[in-house]
Amino acid sequence: MAPIPLMTPYKMGESLELAHRVVLAPLTRQRSYGNVPQPHAAVYYSQRATAGGLLLTEATGVSATAQGYRDTPGVWTPEQVEAWKPVVDAVHAKGARIFCQLWHVGRVSSFEFQPGGAAPVSSTERQVGPQVRHDGSLEEFSPPRRLAAEEIPGVVDDFRNAARNAIQAGFDGVEIHGGNGYLIEQFLKDSANDRTDEYGGILQNRCRFALEVVDAVAKEVGGHRVGIRLSPFMDYMDCHDSDPHALALHLATELNGHGILYVHMIEPRMALVGGRRVVPHRLRPYRDAFKGTFIANGGYDREEGDKAIAEGYADLVSFGRLFLANPDLPRRLELNAPLNKYNRMTFYVSDPVIGYTDYPFLP
């Protein structure tokens, strides 16, 4: 019997040979106490590692000012670099590849997470409104401080240094987090970028910071080790754009000239069709525009993932909540086996086991 499309091999760039098309999406887990990865992270990631598979880490801070949540990991200190090494080694021992997602939250933060209780930095002084947490409580953020143009190269260097540290920790590459309402997207989208300098206004200016980060990281570690995640259609953290199609098409086209390995893009929100949640499949123009590897994300299941691969809509498909709840997800998809249900209430608890490494495998 021929393998299902998701389980067919794929060569990523010139040298990354993947045995299947199922990717672990970045998932914030908030179990890196004091912003340092812990031994239980090695268990968690190695559980989800399969020979020839690709894992993307949870969002990982590039500096002390990049933080906005409790117990999220970083990769800007020697201690953090050393703590990541056994995690990477555990994944490599299973024959898998792992990229570190590099993150700066920007204005999605509060005084308590910033050095010296300072204001979070952003493209703007516009504050993020209160957000509803998974448990129904409200999360509030502090008023941000607009980065001066002369400060921006320093933030770019934070991404550069973090990328170098990630490679020193043994990662196979890095993914730049350019979506979900965080700092890079705060520059990209016109709801958050109200600047009048060379980093604001027209589309090309709003994309300037993102492309400077891409160039710096690619120069530091090699473009063949670099990807970027984008969410042009989403409105996370009050961050939306008046013309997301133009934004996505411009970025996908521009990135061809920057020598990076892949673009990882999030679909628009799923729609209900006949009582079933269906992936919109609206990323085709950007998949066609970008000439490297294209990873699709956003509510995919086995059927939708197979369709995306079979039709050439994406090269790889990343799975978030399904991979969280099913550490052996590639095997389950291959066998069309039942899937564990995820428990939303344990996504962000601090326990090193519950909702983290305790999801069952197939017998």
Token digits of residue 107: 């204005």
CA neighbours closer than 13 Å in the CB half-sphere of residue 184? 28
Contact criterion met (CB below 8 Å) for 55 and 48: yes
* Counts for the chain of helices (H) and strands (E), in that order: 11, 17
- The Cα–Cα gap between 111 and 141 comes to 8
List the catalytic residue out of 182, 262, 286, 348: 182
Please report the DSSP string for 114-161 in residue order. SGGGPPPEESSSPPPPPEE-TTS-EE--PPPEEPPGGGHHHHHHHHHH
Give the C-alpha separation, 315 to 308, whole Å: 8
Please name which of 191, 178, 182 lies closest in space to residue 126, comparing C-alpha atoms: 191
How many angstroms from the chain centroid is the CA of residue 144? 23
Cα 4–Cα 329–Cα 44 angle in degrees, nearest 5: 150
How would you label 36-67 residue by residue, b for 16+ Cβ within 10 Å and e otherwise? bbbebbbbbbbbbbbebbbbbbbbbbbbebbb
CA dihedral 207, 210, 212, 218 (to 10 degrees): -130
State phi, psi for 198 to the nearest 5 degrees.
-70, -5
| Residue 179, both tokens | 């979506």
The contacts of residue 303 (CB under 8 Å, 6+ apart) are none
Q: Cβ atoms within 10 A of the Cβ of 23, count?
A: 26
Annotation marks residue 182 as catalytic = yes
In degrees rounded to 5, what are phi and psi of residue 295? -110, 125
Catalytic residue IDs: 182
